[in-house]
């Protein structure tokens, strides 16, 4: 535990169930005045902090909190992801779960210093915040106050000051795209799906392919397609199956796709319907713009094609069939999320699908 010179700030590495619960609930204070935001899954977050998830064997994780006069004002978790380090051969630690109240520069600075020291003591030479596979997402740099795409951050603008004051630099930029599902784009999507058949590739929904078999294909193809993709680390069927299984029988089965050449899966898409009506926290009376949610915006979360099947329109065909299915279920817009600024093949796919840039995000990094 650290007490600041002002004596009103307390920074502590936490370990109790009560502190984990308080940690997980801080976003409700940070975003209390928002008209719309995505609240955390409290139970899943607490389980991660307590080491009760299937990723626990790969992680050394220590959450930190900062209190001012007994009120929790900031939180962060320092993580050593051994799977990432083995894959990339880089001694890089990660800061995830960062949230903080406005105007708490001193408390946040002390907390981040403690977290970075924790990483350094474990041999880390660098720290990243704003991207970790399945653990963390980039920081928004525009659309402050709007409901972001599903899974993405809607952080306040002052987060960037906190992180840069702590010595972080911008490492990567990311793009969120949105496409309007108009009659013109839907007609183009139909042509894309038809064109892939002549290349000897069949696009099937996860329901058609078999849901659990599709989840396994998603794991294998994603690992292959993303093997050298910045920031990614391999995942296992053992952790993915329990994560995907509850979605069996939902619309995800129809919106998500597998591309098959012969008998081999060569491409995958994971897409979801508009989850804002059931998961987003909305102030009473607030009506979301159709492009943002309210039941009308689906989202393509992940798309991957193995190297041997690239250049044939596989990604376009899978995304197109997913978007056509969204339209049949009443969705008027879709997201294409999340694309690195320098991932031009994926950016060209988004543009070919008629999508426009609708949000920008960044990931931070610093030397230790």
Is 59 domain-assigned?
Answer: yes
pLDDT number for residue 4: 53
pLDDT number for residue 108: 98
pLDDT number for residue 240: 95
Is 283 domain-assigned?
Answer: yes
Is 172 domain-assigned?
Answer: no
pLDDT, the chain, mean: 96
What backbone phi and psi angles, to 5 degrees, belong to 9?
-105, 135
What backbone phi and psi angles, to 5 degrees, belong to 100?
-160, 150
What backbone phi and psi angles, to 5 degrees, belong to 250?
-90, 180
| CATH number for the domain that contains residue 16 | 3.40.630.30
The residue behind tokens 């997980």 is 24
pLDDT at 268 over 60: yes
129 in the same domain as 259: no
Contact of 167 with 366, CB cutoff 8 Å: yes
pLDDT number for residue 1: 57
183 in the same domain as 132: no
Tokens of 309: 């099947």
pLDDT at 38 over 80: yes
DSSP β-ladder status, 356-367 and 139-140: antiparallel
122 in the same domain as 195: no
Give the residue-averaged pLDDT of 29-34. 96
Contact of 322 with 255, CB cutoff 8 Å: yes
Query: Collapsing DSSP states into helix, strand and coil, what is residue 201?
Result: strand
Is 209 domain-assigned?
Answer: yes
355 in the same domain as 211: yes
* Helix runs in the chain, H state only: 17-30, 42-49, 82-88, 105-121, 159-165, 183-197, 206-209, 211-225, 237-244, 252-255, 276-279, 314-328, 344-352
CB within 8 Å of 290: residues ≥ 6 apart: 296, 297, 332, 333
Is 164 domain-assigned?
Answer: no
If one compares 4 and 90, the residue with the highest pLDDT of the two is 90
Is 77 domain-assigned?
Answer: yes
Could you report the per-residue pLDDT of 286-317, keeping only the tens digit for each? 999 999 999 999 999 999 999 999 999 999 99
353 in the same domain as 223: yes
345 in the same domain as 268: yes
What predicted TM-score, i.e. pTM, was given to this entire model? 0.95
Is 368 domain-assigned?
Answer: no
CA atoms within 13 A on the CB side of 265: 26
Give the residue-averaged pLDDT of 221-250. 96
Give the residue-averaged pLDDT of 226-234. 96
What backbone phi and psi angles, to 5 degrees, belong to 243?
-70, -40
Of 136, 162, 188, the last residue of a domain is 136
Domain count, the chain: 2
Could you report the per-residue pLDDT of 89-110, keeping only the tens digit for each? 999 999 999 999 999 999 999 9
Range of the domain at 112: 2-136
Contact of 359 with 142, CB cutoff 8 Å: yes
Contact of 149 with 359, CB cutoff 8 Å: yes
Q: How far apart are CA 119 and CA 141, in angstroms?
A: 26
pLDDT number for residue 142: 98
The residue behind tokens 């294909």 is 217
Q: How far apart are CA 6 and CA 8, in angstroms?
A: 5
Q: How far apart are CA 25 and CA 30, in angstroms?
A: 9
Please state, in angstroms and as integers, the Cα–Cα distance from residue 269 to each residue in 55, 225, 233, 319, following that order.
23, 12, 18, 7
pLDDT number for residue 6: 60
196 in the same domain as 105: no
Could you report the per-residue pLDDT of 180-190, keeping only the tens digit for each? 999 999 999 99
Is 92 domain-assigned?
Answer: yes
Of 79, 107, 136, the last residue of a domain is 136
DSSP β-ladder status, 92-100 and 126-129: parallel
DSSP β-ladder status, 92-100 and 71-81: antiparallel
Give the residue-averaged pLDDT of 344-364. 97
Closest alpha carbon to 253 in 210, 218, 292: 210
pLDDT at 135 over 70: yes
Query: Collapsing DSSP states into helix, strand and coil, what is residue 364?
Result: strand
């Amino acid at each position: 535990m650290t007490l600041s010179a002002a004596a009103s700030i307390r920074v502590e590495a936490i370990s109790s169930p009560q502190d984990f619960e308080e940690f997980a609930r801080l976003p409700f204070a940070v975003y209390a005045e928002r008209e719309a935001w995505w609240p955390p899954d409290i139970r899943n977050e607490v389980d991660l902090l307590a080491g009760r998830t299937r990723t626990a064997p790969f992680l050394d994780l220590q959450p930190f909190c900062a209190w001012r006069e007994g009120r929790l004002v900031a939180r962060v978790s320092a993580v050593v992801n051994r799977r990432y380090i083995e894959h990339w051969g880089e001694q890089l630690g990660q800061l995830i779960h960062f949230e903080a109240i406005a105007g708490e520069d001193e408390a946040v600075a002390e907390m981040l210093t403690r977290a970075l020291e924790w990483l350094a003591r474990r041999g880390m030479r660098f720290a990243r915040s704003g991207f970790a596979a399945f653990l963390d997402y980039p920081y928004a740099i525009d659309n402050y106050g709007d409901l972001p795409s599903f899974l993405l951050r809607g952080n306040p603008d002052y987060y960037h000051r906190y992180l840069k004051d702590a010595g972080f630099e911008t490492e990567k930029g990311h793009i969120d795209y949105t496409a309007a599902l108009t009659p013109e784009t839907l007609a183009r999507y139909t042509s894309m799906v038809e064109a892939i058949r002549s290349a000897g590739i069949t696009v099937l929904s996860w329901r058609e392919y078999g849901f659990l078999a599709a989840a396994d294909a998603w794991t294998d193809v994603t690992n292959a397609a993303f093997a050298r993709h910045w920031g990614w680390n391999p995942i296992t069927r053992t952790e993915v199956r329990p994560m995907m299984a509850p979605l069996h029988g939902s619309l995800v089965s129809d919106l998500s796709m597998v591309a098959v050449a012969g008998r081999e899966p060569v491409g995958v898409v994971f897409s979801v319907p508009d989850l804002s009506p059931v998961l987003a926290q909305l102030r009473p009376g607030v009506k979301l713009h159709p492009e943002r949610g309210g039941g009308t915006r689906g989202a393509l979360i992940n798309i991957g094609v193995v190297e041997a099947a690239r250049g044939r329109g596989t990604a376009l065909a899978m995304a197109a069939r997913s978007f056509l299915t969204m339209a049949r279920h009443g969705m008027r817009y879709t997201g294409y999320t999340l694309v690195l600024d320098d991932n031009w093949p994926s950016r060209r796919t988004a543009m070919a699908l008629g999508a426009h840039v609708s949000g920008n995000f960044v990931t931070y990094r610093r030397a230790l």
